[in-house]
Structure formats: structure tokens, C-alpha cells
Amino acid sequence: MTQKAKSILVGLAGLLAGAALTVNLSAIADKDAETALPVEELRAFTDVFARIKNDYVEPVEDKKLITEAINGMLTGLDPHSSYLDIEAFKDLQVGTQGEFGGLGIEVGMEDGFVKVISPIEDTPAFKAGVKPGDLIVKLDDTPVKGMTLNDAVKRMRGKPGTSIRLTIARKSVAKPLVLTLTRAVIKIRSVKSTLVDPGYGYVRVTQFQEHTGELLAEALNGLYRDNKVPLKGLILDLRNDPGGLLNGAVAVTAAFVKPDSLVVYTEGRTEDAKMRLTASREHYLRPMQSDYLKNLPEGLKSVPMVVLVNSGSASASEIVAGALQDHKRAVVMGTRTFGKGSVQTILPIGNGTAIKLTTARYYTPNGRSIQAKGIEPDIVVEDPAMPESENGFGIREADLDKHLVNPADEEPAPMLNKPDDAIKAPPADKPGKNGEDKKPTALEPGEIVSKNDYQMNQALNLLKGLQILQGR
């Protein structure tokens, strides 16, 4: 039996000015597949290949034809299987480390320009004065208009020590700003924390990366140290967390549940696609790594918890939310999650390339598949500061072409699938004039969570209410 490096994926892709979010897991054994080749179909393929080579209006390289054929085979299966060329494979490997050469800007697109969502603290962008809401209109002398977000991100990434000139439009400034930034090694902290009130901690996991478990332990110890006495309640914010490393999800869950509790299991056609992952060190630690969860503060296994989720919570985020919900360890609050319940395996195929292949479905401890359905919150709380599409009708797994069906019903899930027993909080007044939705309040540099965050405040109110009831 040959050995081949493999990686298991449970995440979605996100964009950062320096890296793409991705996932990775330890190597597992490969197997030799003995499958009879479809001779007639392969003959048809070679005939088409020859026709294109001979008759297409322009010469086409063999490499391009083969690459596109491979990509077509994979993309035709489901939304998450794909071919990774050399660059994409490198991006995937870099993203799991949470470290890259770049500027330190979280970005999106608006009206054809790159919009700054947030500069990362202590990065070149932060130090240069880049602010949330800034529009990047030029990269060096190249206009951003017409670029894809991927293209813009690639231009902003680069070798530490090299420079790039940004031309920025800012609402409060009449003339464009021209800033020259020197790229540096950017380290992304996937866990952020603060005390939102005396006795009440807040932890946000933005991605599940290689060091997320360690950073979570550091954050929790810090909250208890800053609070000086045991916490009365804890908010775990998984909103807009697209997923990442499977062992990161196990580590986060293990911090709050009893040892050896089932976190997630997977089912696939092959034996190595069938796994049962529990809250035990062998399922979240790397080889020879010390157990960073071993010395967490007493009381973390029982402190009242609320988990915040929304339609942007996917894959590894859903594993954590589903496990804590099934074990009745936390109240899940927010809106229905994305619904990505499949597992992808990264299979290197030589020459620095790989394929990302869907190999299994994962299930919560109680045997629920969330594929194309998502995690339903125990208490539905919509965000009044978000457009309506981000609350009840955003894009989810069920809306993607060729998505896998849920094995519970073997048919595509409906757009809305809210259980009758879900509690729905009364709607808050919509901010904004003339009934228009208001975009979420941008965080100030260094701010972890906005004091005007409606869902966070609802979670805090619930925890305070539980504390009052327990005190009676």
C-alpha cells in the first residue's frame, strides 16, 4: 500500500489581503483503487482531445486541455470538489498556518473597488492609517476597477520587505490618499477575546487554523485572569466563520465539554473516510504537542454559554455549534447556519498540484447531518443592522448548484427549515431612515466587538437572566 499526503477539509474559502482561508489535517493512509477503466468513454475523450488539437481556431497547449478536463470532472460533482493548480495549492497550505507576506487588510468588493473591511492590528496597513470603509482605487499605477477580488489580493500579497503604493478614496477626505506600504509577515490571530461586562467573557473565532486551539486556551485563561474571579457567562461568536481545520473544531469543542465526549463523526464509502472524533487529546493535538487545554480554568465545563451563529457560519463552525447544542452545553443563538455538512480530502497528484475531493459527510453527536440544512439556533435572533438577505434568505449550501442532498430525506432541503420548537426573539427596530437597512457598524481598529451589536447584546442579556435565575 502506498503512502500519500492527504488533507481533510471542512472549510469554506475566505479572502484576506495576503492569503486564502483553507484547511488541513494530518496525513492518513492512502489505498490502491482497483477500478476497471471505461474504455469506450476514454476513447471518446481522446477523440475529442485530438479534434481540439487539430481543428480549434487557435493552437491550444496540451497542459491547458488536460487541466481543464480534470477541473471539469471535479466541478461537475459538487460545489466543493475542485482542481488545485500550483498557486492554489500553495495558497491552501499557507492559509492553514495563519501567516503570510502581505499588508494586513481584510477586504471585500464594493462598486468595483476593493473595500477595506478592517486593517489587522500592528500590521503595515494599520500603522499606515488605513481605515475600515476605505476604497482602494489603485495598486501602484494599476486601477482596481475591472479587477477581481482575487487579482487584487494577489497584487497586495508578496515578499516581506517589498513595497506597494495604494491610492485610497476616503469619504471624509476630499482628495485621494496615496500611501506607500512595505509588506511584512502577517500573523493572523484567529481567536479574539474581551470582557464585554464584568463577569461576562466574549470570544470570537474568525477561522479554524492550525493554532486556533492554542489561541483559544490563551484567550480563556486571559479572560479569567482579567476578571479575577470565575466568569458568570461566556459568549462564543462563530458568526461569519467559514470553517477550517477539523482538529481546530475538535479543540474548541473540547474546551467546553466533558473529556472523551463525541464531537463529530464522518461517513463515507472508504474506511479511512469513517472517523469518530472525540474531545480527547489525540484528536486535536499535533504529534509531540503538549496539551494546551489541560490547565484551563475550573468552571469552563459548566459556565453558562451562548454560541452566536449566522448564515456565514459554515463547516467547522457548524461542527462546534452542533456539538455544543447536542450536548446541551450551550444555547445557540442567531440565524440558521450555512449547511455545509461534507468533508473534502486534499490529494496531491504531483507537480505541485492537487485535487480537492468530497469524500464524506459529517454528523453531529446525535446523528444529525446538517448538509443543505444547517444548524437551527435554539433562539432565533436576527440582526437588525444587516440587510434582510443576510438574516433569513442569504446564500447557503442548499442554493449551490449540484450540492449534496441531506441523507435524512435524500432530497434538497427547502430554503427555510426552521423547527417549530425554535424560540424567536421579538424583532428589534430596524435602524436607518425610510425603512432602509443599515450596514453593520464597522469596528474601530483594536475593537473586538461593537457595543451596538444587537445579537451580542441579546446573548449577554440571556446570560444575565440565567445568572439571576440561578441566584434564586
User: Could you confirm whether 127 is annotated as catalytic?
Assistant: no
**Annotated catalytic residue, options 138, 340, 356, 373:** 340
What is the distance between the alpha carbons of residues 206 and 237, in angstroms, rounded to a whole number? Answer: 8
Question: β-strand 262-268 against 275-278: which pairing, if any?
Answer: antiparallel
Provide the 3-class DSSP secondary structure of residue 156: helix
What is the distance between the alpha carbons of residues 15 and 31, in angstroms, rounded to a whole number? Answer: 34
Strand partners, 379: 333, 423
**Annotated catalytic residue, options 134, 237, 241, 326:** 326
Selection from 385, 380, 239, 407 nearest residue 321 by Cα: 239
What is the distance between the alpha carbons of residues 338 and 319, in angstroms, rounded to a whole number? Answer: 12
Helices 246-254 and 316-326 pack at an angle, to 10 degrees, of 30
Selection from 344, 291, 290 nearest residue 316 by Cα: 344
User: Could you confirm whether 438 is annotated as catalytic?
Assistant: no
Helices 62-75 and 39-55 pack at an angle, to 10 degrees, of 140
CA atoms within 13 Å, Cβ hemisphere of 261: 23
Strand partners, 181: 164
Q: Phi and psi of 229, rounded to 5°?
A: -130, 160
CA atoms within 13 Å, Cβ hemisphere of 85: 8
Strands in 328-386 per DSSP E: 331-334, 342-350, 353-363, 379-380
126 and 156 Cβ atoms separated by less than 8 Å: no
User: Could you confirm whether 389 is annotated as catalytic?
Assistant: no
What is the distance between the alpha carbons of residues 153 and 20, in angstroms, rounded to a whole number? Answer: 9
Distances from the Cα of 387 to the Cα of 153, 414, 436, angstroms:
26, 21, 9
Instruction: Give the active site residues.
Output: 315, 326, 340
